């Protein structure tokens, strides 16, 4: 890269936004060129700063409009805000299609990366679990979190279990063996036929363990997120990669090189 | 010990009984003097063999009568058969009381040890968990077994959870923190206020993990039983110790030196 | 598949060979057509049985000659015997090249799969570890085995560490952080810059744990081989896949679908 | 307790001292009555505050003199500062002996508790490991820390291994089985015959895992210290208990109720 990538942060005063600003300032080859706070005109700010990429850590109510404004300002977008659904994602994909068709030959196509999770260990655990699933007779998921969490099981655990179920179905595997007759309430939640257990323990943050079993062997993939700061390597990776992925990409795993 | 302890095995042709015979033959200071099979007269066999101790691995329908016969034959008993309840235990305790009151001064008092579990790692895990419980804000139990098990959670996990609950109550601790509002079915079974999760995985045998948490720290006690042969050290220990514990003792933990 | 695949087992009376025969007899779509013992003429036996695939679980001194004989008999080979080096592998690859060039258009090309490890959990752990390596600042390997093992660290752990080191080098990562000044002997063996620790514990069989760390997060990949029978799913998979991989393939990971 | 216990903190501006002040202010039944900083007259400060207990989190060069001054001021002492040896401990024990002999019948005897580790999970792990040790054929210790740690293995791991070795010797156990012929450098440090492995991984803080094995079974005791704040429950417990332990006590485990 001959010159540093110019990066704007939307939601710069929030917890994740502030951490992203700090991470950008410490990173090689990346330059923080705008901290955009609540109420500012996103498109104007991105244009004024001549940003190549904008990172959105704002709020569900603002994130879609922000992304459209970033694209109209000619920048790529990396999105960590929650609240996206099929409709909002489709609208962004269509916007990208129109813009990229109209861009000149000298301009690179625009890209948007929406990532529900920037934790490398979490994303890798989920990806490896999906790939391993077809090779094992049994698979279960245990997620462990601090006891102040209000929902169970965690979204990450649900996604992991759904991906395992999908991989098993594609490989033609049937239901897992389970002779339980009494005490089914100890067997966790059923997510697409995969059992998911939620542990709540003071002292923990966010952890996931995926267990696979065959006769005579076990494979366990475990990931621990001790601190929100662990998301920064994933955010920086996304910022660096988004420019080479035209169109809409959902999930950090799609910018990882796992071949 | 000046002469080897003479040991009879009841249920010698069953799986556990046969393994006990093999373990006795390989052990120092212990002599296998009788293999008693189904249908034989237990009292006569124990007397004929001049056994000091009889080990019962028979069936629930036979075990209580066996123990009374062993005691009448003047031997100590170690019992691994299931099926005991408060009434049958009380009858053995009363029998021991009568016999020991009548024994001469030169005769040692008789003892009976009934152990639901001879696995040292399982018994130690449960004992340590009960002792640790009062020092932590949170505690949960995860048990993992092969998928052919019909009941959940395991008896060992239930006992562990109940012991944790008792220790918390004695120490004046209230309920554990748990903000779960949605998805309670992922939170496992509630055993006296302690959450117990049951994992079923091909390749596993019998495993238990007890997790304790405080702000900033975690203690995990895990035990793995890979093979039934792991019960033999506990059986031999019980055989060696039962003679020095007059009366009825329930639970291998009571013959362990854990001070 | 319209007709069952015909499979010969070389070394059929050895431990792994006998287990392979049993697994073949229980498998769908595979037919055990020859059990070849020590001293028999491998080529003649494979020809007489009209085997499609021969599985070699013999001894280092015999395995290369066996593979050449299998190929001359027109069958694919799956090899689990150790003792292969660069030279013997090159000779097999050349043999395959000559034979496949001469085969008629209606005949499928011949394949040989040499696998140092048929354990799916072990192979997956190693593969995932290599792929994860570039995304973490730190990586270490802990292998755990029964105490009768004479060498440390295990071959699997060495391969895993070497693959991690290679992936780090390719990604341009430097040495891992390690401020240790005193007590370096507690830091394990250095395999290409990756620390490998060997635990020896009665009761264990063969286990490996690979730990990755970034600021605020950890990824752990663990695999447990409790029993040699766990190799059978990998052997059957290799038997099924070898016919569609012309030429020489080394490593079960290359017949797994991990994309 | 009819009135709150009055507590002074020595080293109140240091990291541990400040955290102790905060924990005392949040605790029931304890009153923070003095924050003593570097250079202040400890005895005068303790007397002026009429402290019942003084907690010392200062520096090795000051801690012994502080304790003598606290005792002369008539208060109990809880000490978390390192740097104590046999001589300094003996001098404190003698001082306590003289003072307690001279105290009036209405005055409770003075106590000093020196604790190398206030982490409940760490102290419990070490204590349980020592108690379990006699019942297993094999035992090893793995400690895991952040990579900025300069010494290996950790003091906690050394103490744990030494306690295991002592318990094995008392029970008459011989050396553990270990057939390693090649690659001994992967087998960790030898602490009194117990192998200790040190893992250094970015993202970790301070963790210890103690593994015990018999034929067919395993017991694992693991403790994680994610944050220094985890020491506070142990400090508060020590403050509450020191007044009922006359004389010198070394080790938090001696004020825990683990029967």
> A41: Cβ–Cβ under 8 A, 6 or more apart, which residues?
A69
Helices (H), chain A: 15-26, 42-48, 60-72, 86-102, 120-132, 155-170, 232-241
Q: Where are the domains of chain D?
A: 5-114+229-255, 120-226
pLDDT at D189: 98
- Overall average pLDDT of the C111-125 stretch: 96
Residues 6 or more apart whose Cβ sits within 8 Å of residue B115:
B78, B79, B80, B234, B238, B250, B251, B252
Mean residue pLDDT across chain D: 96
Residue range C186-201, pLDDT digits in tens: 999 999 999 999 999 9
A with B: how many residue pairs have Cβ under 8 Å apart? 162
Task: Quote the CA–CA distance of D77 and A41 in Å, as a whole number.
Answer: 61
pLDDT of residue C195: 98
Predicted pLDDT at D106: 82
Residue A259 has pLDDT above 90, yes or no: no
Query: What is the three-class DSSP state of D159?
Result: helix
For residue A169, give the 3-state DSSP assignment: helix
D176: pLDDT strictly greater than 70? yes
* Dist CA B21 CA B31 (whole Å): 10
Specify the 3-state DSSP secondary structure of A29.
coil
Q: Are strands A206-214 and A217-225 parallel, antiparallel or unpaired?
A: antiparallel
- Say yes or no: ipTM exceeds 0.95: no
3-class DSSP assignment, residue D225: strand
Please name the member of D119, D135, D257 whose beta carbon is closest to the beta carbon of B217: D119
The dihedral built from the CA positions of residue A119, A251, A241 and A58, taken in this order, carries a sign that is: negative
Half-sphere exposure of C78 (CA within 13 A, CB side): 28
Question: What is the per-residue pLDDT for D1?
Answer: 47
Q: Which two tokens stand for residue D53?
A: 């207990």
Q: Read off the pLDDT of each residue in C14-24 and give the average, rounded to a whole number.
A: 96
- A1 — pLDDT class (breaks 50, 70, 90): very low
Burial D63-99 (b: 16+ CB within 10 A, else e): bbebbbbbbebbbbbbbbbeebeeebbeebeebbeeb
Q: Any bridge partners for residue B113, and if so which?
A: B78, B249
Q: Residue range C154-167: average pLDDT?
A: 96
Which residue in the block uniquely carries the two structure tokens 């994740």?
Answer: A16
Which chains does chain D touch, 3 or more C-beta pairs < 8 A?
A, B, C
Query: What's the pLDDT tens digit per position in D108-141?
Result: 899 999 998 999 999 999 999 999 999 999 999 9
Check residue B107 and give its pLDDT: 84
Q: What is the pLDDT of residues A127-168, one digit of tens each?
A: 999 999 999 999 999 999 999 999 999 999 999 999 999 999
Residues of chain D contacting residue A230, judged by C-beta atoms under 8 Å apart: 203
Binding residue positions of D: 11-16, 38, 80-82, 115-118, 146, 155-156
Query: How many residues are given for chain A?
Result: 259
Its CATH class, for the domain covering D5-114+229-255, is alpha beta
Query: pLDDT band for position D43 (50/70/90)?
Result: very high
Cis ω before A153 (30° cut-off from 0) = yes
| Peptide linkage before C77 cis (omega within 30 of 0) | no
- C105 pLDDT exceeds 90? no
- What is d(CA C56, CA C53) in angstroms, rounded to the nearest whole number? 10
Kindly report the three-state secondary structure assignment for every residue of chain B: CCCCEEEEEECCCCHHHHHHHHHHHHCCCEEEEEEECCCCCHHHHHHHCCCCEEEECCCHHHHHHHHHHHHHCCCEEEECCCCCCHHHHHHHHHHHHHHHHHCCCCCCCCEEEECCCCCHHHHHHHHHHHHHHHHCCEEEEEEEECCCCCECCCHHHHHHHHHHHHHHHHCCCCCCCCCCCECHHHHCEEECCEEEEEEECCCCCEEEEEEEEECCEEEEEEEEECCHHHHHHHHHHHHHHHHHCCEEEECHHHHCCCC
pLDDT, residue B2, reads 62
Q: How high is the pLDDT of residue A2?
A: 62
Is A183 annotated as contributing to ligand binding?
no
Tell me the average pLDDT across C176-183: 96
pLDDT at A164 (0 to 100): 98
Q: Which of B206-215, C204-213, C224-233 has the lowest mean pLDDT?
A: C224-233
Give residue B164's Cα distance to chain centre: 17
> Number of C-alpha atoms within 13 angstroms, CB side, residue A164?
32
Mean pLDDT of D243-255: 95
For residue B199, the chain A residues in CB contact (below 8 A) are 140, 142, 195, 197, 211
pLDDT at C2 over 70: no
Burial string for A47-68 (b: 16+ CB within 10 Å, else e) reads bebebbbbbbbbeeebbbebbb
Q: Does C133 touch chain D (CB under 8 A)?
A: no
Whether B189 has a pLDDT exceeding 70, the answer reads yes
Please name the residue ranges forming H helices in D9-59.
15-26, 42-48
Strands across the sheet containing B53-56: B30-36, B5-10, B53-56, B76-79, B111-114, B247-250
Using the Cβ of A198 and the Cβ atoms of chain C, whether some distance falls under 8 Å is answered with no
Instruction: Give the pLDDT confidence score for residue B105 in this predicted structure.
Output: 82
C197 is annotated as contributing to ligand binding: no
Torsions phi, psi for C207 (to 5 deg): -145, 150
Q: How far apart are CA A133 and CA A110, in angstroms?
A: 34
Residues 6+ apart with CB under 8 A from B88: B64
pLDDT beyond 50 at C258 = yes
Cβ–Cβ under 8 Å, residues A135 and A161: no
Q: Does A173 touch chain C (CB under 8 A)?
A: no
Q: Does D135 touch chain B (CB under 8 A)?
A: yes
pLDDT in tens, D10-36: 999 999 999 999 999 999 999 999 999
Q: Which among A120, A221, A226 has CB closest to C221?
A: A221
In the stretch 200-219 of chain A, residues with CB closer than 8 A to chain B read 200-204, 211-218
Could you tell me if B45 and B66 are in contact, meaning their C-beta atoms sit under 8 angstroms apart?
A: no
Residue C60's CB is within 10 A of a number of other CB atoms, namely: 12
> Would you call B151 and A180 a contact, using CB atoms and an 8 Å cutoff?
yes
- Residues of C marked active site are found at 145, 149
Kindly state the tokens that stand for A127. 């990806």
Cβ A189–B189 below 8 Å, yes or no?
no
Over residues D84-96, the pLDDT tens digits come to 999 999 999 999 9
Please indicate if the annotation marks B116 as binding a ligand. Answer: yes
User: What's residue A85's pLDDT?
Assistant: 95
- Same fold for the pair D5-114+229-255 and D120-226: no
> B122: pLDDT confidence band, cut at 50, 70 and 90?
very high
**Residue A131: count of CB within 10 angstroms of its CB:** 20
Contact status of B13 with chain A (Cβ, < 8 Å): no
Name C141's Cβ contacts closer than 8 Å, sequence gap at least 6.
Answer: C129, C153, C157, C160, C161, C164, C191, C194, C195, C196, C197, C208, C209, C210, C211
- The CATH code of domain B120-226 reads 3.30.360.10
Count of other CB atoms within 10 angstroms of residue D104: 5
């Amino acid at each position: 890269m001959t010159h540093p990538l110019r990066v704007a942060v939307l939601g710069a005063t929030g917890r994740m936004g502030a951490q992203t600003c700090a991470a950008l300032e410490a990173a090689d080859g990346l330059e923080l060129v705008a901290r955009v706070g609540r109420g500012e005109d996103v498109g104007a700010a991105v244009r004024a700063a001549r940003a190549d990429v904008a990172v959105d850590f704002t709020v569900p109510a603002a994130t879609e409009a922000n992304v459209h404004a970033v694209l109209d300002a000619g920048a790529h977008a990396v999105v960590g805000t929650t609240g996206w659904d099929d409709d909002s994602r489709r609208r962004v994909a269509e916007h990208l299609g129109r813009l990229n068709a109209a861009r000149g030959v000298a301009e690179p196509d625009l890209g948007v990366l929406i990532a529900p999770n920037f934790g490398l260990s979490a994303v890798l655990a989920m990806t490896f679990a999906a790939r391993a699933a077809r090779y094992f007779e049994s698979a279960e998921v245990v997620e462990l979190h601090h006891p102040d969490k209000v929902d169970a099981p965690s979204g990450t655990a649900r996604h992991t279990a759904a991906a395992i179920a999908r991989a098993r179905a594609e490989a033609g595997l049937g239901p897992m063996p389970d002779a339980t007759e009494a005490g089914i309430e100890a067997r966790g939640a059923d997510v697409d036929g995969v059992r998911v257990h939620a542990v709540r323990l003071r002292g923990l943050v966010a952890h996931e363990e995926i267990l696979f079993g065959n006769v005579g062997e076990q494979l366990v993939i475990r990931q621990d997120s001790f601190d929100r700061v662990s998301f920064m390597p994933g955010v920086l990776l996304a910022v660096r990669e988004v420019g080479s992925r035209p169109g809409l990409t959902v999930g950090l795993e799609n910018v990882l090189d796992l071949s």
